[in-house]
Each structure stands twice: as C-alpha cells, then as structure tokens.
C-alpha cells in the first residue's frame, strides 16, 4: 500500500484530502507542520508527500520542508506535491524540486490524479490500483 504523508495545518484540508486519498487506497498519515512532517518522513519513509505551502508561521512562501527533504539522503527521492494559493511565477520557481504543484482550491479528485501521475513517473512507490 502506498504510504502518503499529508501536511497541512488546516483541519478541513486534512479531512477532505485525507478522506479522498484513503478512498482511493492510499495509506494516509497526517502532519500539521513542517517539523513534525520532516520527523515523520524520516521515520515512516512515505512514498509521496503532499504539503501545503506556506505553512502557518512561515514568512517565506517557499517550502522549508521541501528543502529539508531534498537535503536528507533518506528522503531525497521522495516525490513532493505542493498545495498552495500562491500564484505568482516567483512562487512557482521557489517550489523547484517538487514533482507536483496544485493551486488551492484544488478538488480532491484533482489531487488524487496528480498523486497517481507522480507515482506512475516514480515506479519505486507501491501505488494502489487505478480506479
């Protein structure tokens, strides 16, 4: 079963996206911020990370979590999908290194399709069967 780490401080996003991903066969783990997400990624080795940017308390639009994941040998190759409301081209440039970039409000089925697309491109992950 594909292990997915969903990172967002917003309870409604955790519920909506988490439910949609679980319904599609993903083993969804939740983190509410970049620090606990990084620790969880090291411990649980997710097949993909979906993270909200920016996170509460962050003054920079880029993902500190993405940077930290890319710097660590154990998590360097884990695909990352960024969910964001930041639309300017410079924000997209700050997300360089992420495999996916979705603007909020992204429908849950759009997120599921994006995760499946990424997993198809990274066949090492244990993707659930397509529906």
Order the strands of the 27-31 sheet from edge to edge. Answer: 27-31, 3-7, 48-53, 80-84, 100-103
Beta-carbon contacts of residue 117 (< 8 Å; ≥ 6 apart): 100
Reported CATH class of domain 3-121: alpha beta
Question: Residue 61, CB half-sphere, CA atoms under 13 Å: how many?
Answer: 14
Question: What residues does each domain of the chain span?
Answer: 3-121
pTM above 0.75, yes or no: yes
pLDDT tens digit sequence for 81-121: 999 887 766 666 667 788 999 999 899 999 999 999 999 98
DSSP reduced 3-state for 29: strand
pLDDT at 96: 76
């Amino acid at each position: 079963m594909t292990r997915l780490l969903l990172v967002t401080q917003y309870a409604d996003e955790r519920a909506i996206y988490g439910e949609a991903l679980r319904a599609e066969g993903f083993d969804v783990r939740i983190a509410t911020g970049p620090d606990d997400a990084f620790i969880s990624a090291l411990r649980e080795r997710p097949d993909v990370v979906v993270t909200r940017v920016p996170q509460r308390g962050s003054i920079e639009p880029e993902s500190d979590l993405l940077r930290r994941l890319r710097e660590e040998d154990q998590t360097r190759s884990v695909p990352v999908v960024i969910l964001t409301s930041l639309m300017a081209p410079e924000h997209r440039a700050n997300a360089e290194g992420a495999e996916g970039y979705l603007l909020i409000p992204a429908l849950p089925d759009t997120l599921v399709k994006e995760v499946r697309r990424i997993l198809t491109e990274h066949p090492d992950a244990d993707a659930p069967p397509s529906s």
